[in-house]
A and B are shown apart, each in its own frame.
Chain A
């Protein structure tokens, strides 16, 4: 163990990464959420990422039962949950074993020595106790008998069983971390008071454990350093910490309120998209109609029916579910109805890695339907902007009368970050093509000149009776047509309709520099990783590296080629085997698209990116 004198004056740091790990039942998700919430209230920028086993209750102490929660807090802009951690809090040997690799050498590990029993060491496949065999000598290890100390502190609370007492040791750990980073306990104390109203003993126990941990860290001088992280400079406003999936659901709610169209969700549970269904199912008070359907196909089919009847219709899924929805999505495209398909990507193919992240559904989203069936494809970039892109998906589908696939992924869906609260009044206008009454010579396939969107003629409106369907239709009347020239015309106009979306989306921006040696390209949920890696390049003096992030994938922004031309080299970074690079190669000739791909179910880390970028320049 390494102990040094306590610094009375807290050291000031720009950013810190803390990871809490323990058994599935140790309350690590709660601990992490509390730490990030408190830090956000303090004014830090934060990014978090939970990492928990797919098994609901994995065997206690096992390596695959380890649950973790990583928090990155800073006085500077934070765009990812971070790679290597400054502080690891390990509640058991299995947590230490599976997470040690992530700790920066020389940095701190806090362990609960009470859990380092022979039995638990065996379960974690440790032949010798790592606290005793010298294998941790490169780290500052702080050994704390958390279980014993918590029990001692809580012994005077009558009527608490042993299990309830032991369960609060996560708050003891949190108390220590709060003291280390100079945080107040108020946020967490309030949380327990609200959460456990009517259970005063639980409230008392948790608050006591929290306080005890904090005092322990302060008075026993066991902590080598205390740190403080100043508030970050962020755009003024009211903020809250939000998870990507929640932000996604809220963006849809905002679009529904803005348009006055009732929100209909047809969905089937699937990891990691189910939280959107859960969130929307709560909000019946906003008129949300959420149908948990019998399967993925019924999820999208019911949404198509609801759209036909005039609702703002959504279906949510992940990769395998999108595959099942393909035929119905083709129908929605064919009958030119508004529909938002949210695909929270996970590791594929087939069942793949359900709880891990990947960007491998891009080509499925672009091309995964029979026939010539283009749809709009967009992707959210961060947990917080899932709100904006959910709203944007609704805007585009209503203004262009064609389905939109909105891609998210497990990383941003489960990650959380500060979100500056926006009200519906602040959000952009959304037009629609609802036909209020029939006009002379009315036809269901009459098109808007600018967007080529057709009319939305909703059942219940007199004199608009008409039929649509999956068979090819006459270009004006919408009646079934097998005329060869008509079919070709319709194929082309549906493609042209998607191309016209370019006029209604923002231009591609470059960050750090508009021209130079290397253009780093990313899309979707890798925004945080890529942005911070290029930012670091810039800080290291590589001022000739620019970054272009794509949120609009089909169609691509119309200045895309102009941006490409201003750089000597281009590298496309993706969490797949090169799908976006394939799309770019098919659309832009004369450019060499270097690839940087990672397919491990994990996000990029900073060093692998900067190493690649440096290689390409030097």
Chain B
């Protein structure tokens, strides 16, 4: 729907004049730069781009983008963005949120925006900690995690964002590590091109309060062995030697080695992101070994705006009212002389 432009932008066109104030070494810088690189490639007009955020470290993001932006209130960005998009469906609308913003205080808006399937892109900066309030556990912190508000270890089991999202009828879910800028840019482009609510979870390292939270999956030394980067239509193969893969064993996913026990590449599951049935996507989102990254689900479905447009057209065709006077004078009226 969004109008494209012939104008050739570079990432600099999307950098605002504001000094970026995240902590040195924060993955937020990677996300910012990946976004500034993705937008010129998407080709959307700069004046049609709107970033809406909530509260938290991540939510300072709109200030650094030279687009329209609103730094909203805690947890409400999906609701604000829904209003923006319904008011003007021509706009390219992005929600910037964090794990606390989206899944604690804003949990209600998060699930409902996904259910409605408004054509928005939600970038969820998941660092499994509250950063801006200086180090309390979040709804994605692990059980046992020691934080300022859980000095003896966190006792609350975490949400998996992908599992919650797909349970809330998310049609598009992708996950990407915060240290993979090239793939991240590509995923942002795919998210924007997808019609409907796209959720991108970025595993974002907080170097101050939760440093190394994702190292077991994202460290360069281990990531090819520990991560499976899925692509639609491709077999789900991973590992430094590209010899590990996923098969379905009963109701569970299983890691197998190609060349062992008679397993060939033909036996490996082929990723179908576009499948309507979310069962397998849900299993992929839950998997911890390997950790699945890339676009896990991308099922095309009618958006809220399309549904509303369709209904509006029908109502307009059927209605006998074109201006309010038609309504005001309809039915029982009487004259006073």
> Could you list which residues of chain A lie within 8 angstroms of chain B, going by C-beta atoms?
37, 40-41, 43, 187, 231, 234-241, 250, 253-254, 257, 262, 264, 266, 283-287, 289, 291, 293-295, 297-298, 301-311, 313, 327-328, 331, 335, 420-424, 459-471, 479-480
Contacts and interface: CB of A to CB of B under 8 A. Distances in A.
Given A235-B336, A293-B79, 7 more contacts: A285-B322, A297-B76, A298-B82, A301-B80, A305-B80, A305-B84, A465-B67
Interface string B298-337: 0000000000100110011001011111011101111111
A467 B16 contact: yes
A239 B336 contact: yes
A204 B14 CA distance: 71
B251 interface: no
Nearest to A258: B324
Interface string B51-78: 0100100000011011111111100100
B157 interface: no
A468 B70 contact: yes
A447 to B, nearest CB: 20
B266 interface: no
B86 interface: yes
A583 B324 CA distance: 38
Interface string B105-134: 000110010000000000000000000000
B46 interface: yes
B82 A253 contact: no
B291 interface: no
Contacts, number: 206
B83 A461 contact: no
A309 B334 contact: no
Interface residues of B, number: 58
Contacts of B179: none
Contacts of B321: 283, 285-286
B325 A424 contact: yes
A469 B70 contact: yes
A291 B316 contact: no
Q: Give the interface centre of B69, B308, B316 by most chain A CB atoms within 10 Å.
A: B69
A294 B84 contact: no
Main secondary structure of the interface of A (DSSP, over half): mixed
Contacts of A254: 324
A284 B52 contact: no
A291 B324 contact: no
B325 A480 contact: no
Nearest to A466: B68
A240 B328 CA distance: 8
B324 A470 contact: no
A306 B80 CA distance: 8
21 contacts: A187-B332, A237-B335, A250-B328, A262-B87, A284-B315, A285-B316, A287-B312, A294-B112, A298-B79, A305-B83, A308-B68, A309-B85, A327-B73, A328-B76, A459-B48, A460-B47, A465-B46, A467-B65, A467-B68, A469-B62, A470-B71
Given A301-B79, A305-B83, A480-B63, A240 B331 contact: yes
Contacts of B67: 465
A253 B334 CA distance: 22
B83 A302 contact: yes
B156 to A, nearest CB: 23
Nearest to A303: B83
B91 interface: yes
Report which residue of B16, B55, B76, B85 has the largest number of chain A beta carbons within 10 angstroms of its beta carbon. B76
Contacts of B83: 264, 266, 291, 301-309, 311, 313
Q: Report, nearest first, the 3 A-B pairs whose CB atoms are least far apart.
A: A305-B83, A469-B71, A302-B83
Nearest to A293: B79
A43 to B, nearest CB: 6
A241 B332 contact: yes
Contacts of B241: none
Contacts of B69: 466-469
Nearest to A334: B73
B267 interface: no
Contacts of B206: none
Given A238-B334, A284-B315, A309-B91, A423 B70 contact: no
B88 A460 contact: yes
B82 A291 contact: yes
Nearest to B92: A459
Given A236-B336, A310-B88, A465-B46, A285 B79 contact: no
Contacts of A291: 82-83, 86
Contacts of B55: 470
A423 B325 contact: yes
Nearest to B330: A240
Interface of B: 16, 18, 45-50, 52, 55, 62-63, 65-73, 76, 79-88, 90-91, 108-109, 112, 308, 311-312, 315-316, 319, 321-325, 327-329, 331-337
A194 to B, nearest CB: 9
B328 A467 contact: no
B84 A469 contact: no
A421 B88 contact: no
Contact of B332 (A37, A289, A302): A37
B333 A469 contact: no
A471 B18 CA distance: 14
A479 B63 CA distance: 8
A479 B324 contact: no
A421 B84 contact: no
Contacts of A423: 324-325, 328
B86 A306 contact: yes
Nearest to A302: B83
A294 B113 CA distance: 9
Q: Point out which of B16, B18, B83, B327 has the most chain A C-beta atoms below 10 A from its C-beta.
A: B83
A517 B267 CA distance: 97
Interface-central residue, B47, B66, B79, B312, by most chain A CB under 10 Å: B79
B82 A305 contact: yes
Contact of B79 (A40, A231, A305, A463): A305
A298 B321 CA distance: 30
A424 B323 contact: yes
Given A309-B87, A310-B88, A467-B62, A298 B109 contact: yes
A465 B329 CA distance: 43
B336 A311 contact: no
Which of B316, B322, B332 has the most chain A CB within a 10 Å cutoff? B332
A421 B71 contact: no
B222 to A, nearest CB: 39
A232 to B, nearest CB: 8
B47 A250 contact: no
B327 A250 contact: yes
| Most chain A C-beta atoms within 10 Å of own C-beta, residue among B16, B85, B90, B334 | B334
Given A240-B332, A467-B70, A253 B90 contact: no
A264 B87 contact: yes
A311 B47 contact: no
A313 B18 CA distance: 30
A471 B76 CA distance: 15
A468 B322 CA distance: 36
B70 A308 contact: yes
**Most chain A CB within a 10 A radius of its CB, from B48, B86, B327, B329:** B86
A315 B227 CA distance: 46
Nearest to A457: B68
Nearest to B305: A289
Given A305-B52, A305-B79, A459-B91, A283 B68 contact: no
A479 B18 contact: yes
B97 to A, nearest CB: 13
Contact of B71 (A297, A302, A464, A468): A468
A293 B83 CA distance: 10
A480 to B, nearest CB: 7
Contacts of A459: 47-50, 68, 84, 88, 91
